[in-house]
Amino acid sequence: MSDWSKSTPPDLTAFEALALAARAALPVPYSEAAQAVVLRVEDFAPDRMLAEMGMENPFELTGLYEGIPLTEKSVMDQPFGPDTIWLFRRPILEEWAERGDVPLGDLVAHVLVHELAHHFGWSDADIARIDRWWE
């Protein structure tokens, strides 16, 4: 049995490094395009975001895409800020601990790909080609 008593979960910096590695590991056409999306890592979603989503429990939201999907953008759109993918460390860690059967980096990559799908307008089939999670 391993002694986990001196172990600590990755902090925000280490967690962001997992997310950046996941983005860099995407297949070439996707990894290059994904560089244009801002990546934010926080412990939990801000209260305003939870309220907008109609959520009370901050552990229910592991990630969120904020922006206008590329499939819906128009030259007439006024930018309100950069397209951003938010990853929430504590809910992802909670899911990882509950699952107990996947590496943390794989779960971070899965959440990232799911949020990128919102940005790029990917179908489930598109996601399955990129994210082997569903195999």
Residue 5 lies in a domain: no
Q: In angstroms, how far is the first alpha carbon of the chain from the final one?
A: 30
pLDDT for 77 equals 63
Residue 2 lies in a domain: no
Residue 28 lies in a domain: yes
Domain that holds residue 64: 12-69+79-134
Please give the Cα distance from 129 to 118 (Å, whole number). Answer: 15
> Hey, which residues does 88 pair with through a beta bridge?
42
CB 12 within 8 A of CB 20: no
Residue 4 lies in a domain: no
Please give the Cα distance from 36 to 56 (Å, whole number). Answer: 31
Domain CATH number, residue 46 = 3.30.2010.20
Instruction: Report the predicted TM-score, pTM, of the whole model to 2 decimal places.
Output: 0.86
Per-residue pLDDT tens for 50-105?
Answer: 999 999 999 999 999 998 776 666 666 666 778 899 999 999 999 999 998 999 99
DSSP per residue over 62-107, as a string?
-EEEES--TTT--TTPPP-S--EEEEEHHHHHHHHHHH-SS-HHHH
Residue 86 lies in a domain: yes
Say which residues have a Cβ less than 8 Å from residue 14's Cβ, sequence separation at least 6: none
Q: Is the pLDDT of residue 26 over 80?
A: yes
Residue 3 lies in a domain: no
Residue 25 lies in a domain: yes
Residue 108 lies in a domain: yes
What are the tokens at 29? 């056409």
**Structural domain tally of the chain?**
1
